Amino acid sequence: MQALLDSVESLSSRERKALAALLKQQGVNLYGVTRIFARDPADPTPVSYAQERQWFLWQLDPASGAYNIGAALQLQGRLDIEGLRGACQALIQRHEVLRTTLRQDSDRVVQIIHPQMPFELLIEPLIGMSATSDALREHVEACIAKPFDLEQGPLLRLNLLPLGEDDHVLVLTVHHIAADGWSMPILINDLVQCYERLSQGQAPNLPALPVQYADYA
């Protein structure tokens, strides 16, 4: 089996597609058996079935935040805001799906993966507000509920809520088309690691991802 996988990996993207089509005609399903290969960047990038469903639901109600996934982190102690901004940019560069937009291309939906994606850390001071207050909880919920534009991006939003000089709440929101409950902790961990490096005057050193979500799609 390993020799077969190595042989498939040596094929070009076009040859792998032709092989997959031939095997499908013969009733052979390699899902869950073959590894995911990095795609050819020159190829048009389709969406996954899950993404296609999310695209359809978004088109029905683009003003809805029902499919947003959010997390609120309480940050205590001195905060390096420039380091946090840099960590956000590093996170977007690391994960292609966060700098991806979608469009309808004739009869199919395709992904556009941008080399760069403008990003703004939204700072909303709430000085004196208690971290356990209903007012803060409602504000966090409002941050998470704000809709995304899947055609414009980015698919990630960060709201920094300063409660005091050394007390902040960071609200991280991602559209479900780009993340799920399993991947959110990964994004948060990557963000924290990038921030720790940048706040110490060092460049982030996370290894490059061998495959991206678009490779799976």
In sequence order, the 6+-apart residues with CB closer than 8 A to the CB of 16 are 8, 37
Let me know whether 16 and 50 are in one domain: no
The DSSP bridge partners found for residue 100 are 113
Arithmetic mean of pLDDT, 27-34: 54
And the tokens for 79? 């905060």
Q: Return the pLDDT at 1.
A: 45
Let me know whether 37 and 56 are in one domain: no
Report whether 111 contacts 214 (CB < 8 A).
Answer: yes
And the tokens for 80? 């390096």
Domain-embedded: residue 198: yes
Let me know whether 5 and 63 are in one domain: no
**Whose CA is closest to 87, among 209, 194, 201?**
194
Q: How many domains does one find in the chain?
A: 2
Let me know whether 22 and 88 are in one domain: no
Q: What three-state secondary structure class fits 108?
A: strand
Q: What three-state secondary structure class fits 174?
A: strand
Q: Report whether pLDDT(201) > 90.
A: yes
Angle at 188 between CA 200 and CA 71, to 5 degrees: 125
**Whose CA is closest to 174, among 162, 191, 161?**
191
99-136 pLDDT per residue, tens: 999 999 888 899 888 999 989 999 999 999 999 999 99
At position 212, the amino acid (one-letter code) is Q
Let me know whether 12 and 60 are in one domain: no
Q: Report whether pLDDT(65) > 50.
A: yes
Domain-embedded: residue 93: yes
Q: Which pLDDT band holds residue 30 (cuts at 50, 70, 90)?
A: low
And the tokens for 135? 């007012």
Let me know whether 67 and 159 are in one domain: yes
* Domain extent at residue 25: 1-43
Let me know whether 101 and 201 are in one domain: yes
